[in-house]
Amino acid sequence: MGQRIKDLRAVLDMKQKELAEASGISQSTLCRIESGSVKKIDPNSLRRLAEALEVPAGYLVGEKGQHAEIGLYSDTSLRRILRSYRGLSPSGKRKLEFFVRFLEEGKKKRIEKGDT
């Protein structure tokens, strides 16, 4: 589990301190989890880590059939956008989601017209 968390942080270009703050888990505890000295983590902490890393909790503990869309995070621009999104207020997130839907609708209309 620790290595998966560490790998996801690397892909997300996220520092340990940032993940600690986002998950509400102390940096020292996170360090111990990543190093493997913590073998079992309480379900609430696991859930918070998974939410902060935007993956299913089952992925972190290696459950079969649980996958993370890690390939999505290999795009530098996408990682920057995701980091920015995390820092937005709830209102800012709603506005951004509205804007993305607006862009998707525009693309859909252009495709229907034959303009790509």
Q: What is the DSSP code string of 46-113? A: HHHHHHHHTS-HHHHTT-TT----GGGGG-HHHHHHHHHHHHS-HHHHHHHHHHHHHHHHHHHHHHHH
Q: pLDDT of 60-99, one tens digit each?
A: 888 776 665 555 555 667 767 877 887 889 999 999 999 9
Provide the token pair at 60: 């972190």
Q: What pLDDT does residue 116 have? A: 56
Question: Is the pTM higher than 0.85?
Answer: no
Residue 115 predicted with pLDDT over 70: no
pLDDT tens digits, 6-49:
988 887 778 999 999 999 999 999 999 999 999 889 999 999 99
pLDDT in the model for residue 34: 95
DSSP letter string over 2-63?
A: HHHHHHHHHHTT--HHHHHHHHT--HHHHHHHHHT------HHHHHHHHHHHTS-HHHHTT-
Identify the three-state secondary structure at position 1.
coil
